[in-house]
Amino acid sequence: MARFTDLDTPRQSRVQWETREITMPRATTRQEARAMLTEFAEYGHWELARLRLYRDGRRWALLRRRKMRISPDA
């Protein structure tokens, strides 16, 4: 049987993320936005977390990637 007292403690995730927000002006075409996000993904190891298209044509994107940790082995 599960213990419900364990559910009261906040869970800490072992994965830590760093985020980056990108705002694209309304003159940005769909192809330009796609090319920009593809470059971030390929070269910066970013992944798309959220994308919002506003009524006036602006685009807002939230990118995330895992924090890279360097362990001191020396």
What pLDDT is stored for residue 3 in this prediction? 56
Mean pLDDT for 55-68 is 93
15-59 pLDDT, tens per residue? 789 999 999 999 999 999 999 999 999 999 999 999 999 999 999
Q: Is the pTM of this model over 0.85?
A: no
Secondary structure class of 20 (helix, strand, coil): strand
Pick left, alpha or beta for residue 45 (phi over 0 → left; psi -120 to 50 → alpha; otherwise beta): left
What residues form DSSP beta bridges with 62?
A: 21, 50
Q: Higher pLDDT residue, 10 or 56?
A: 56
- The pLDDT assigned to 70 comes to 73
Domain spans of the chain, in order of start: 17-66
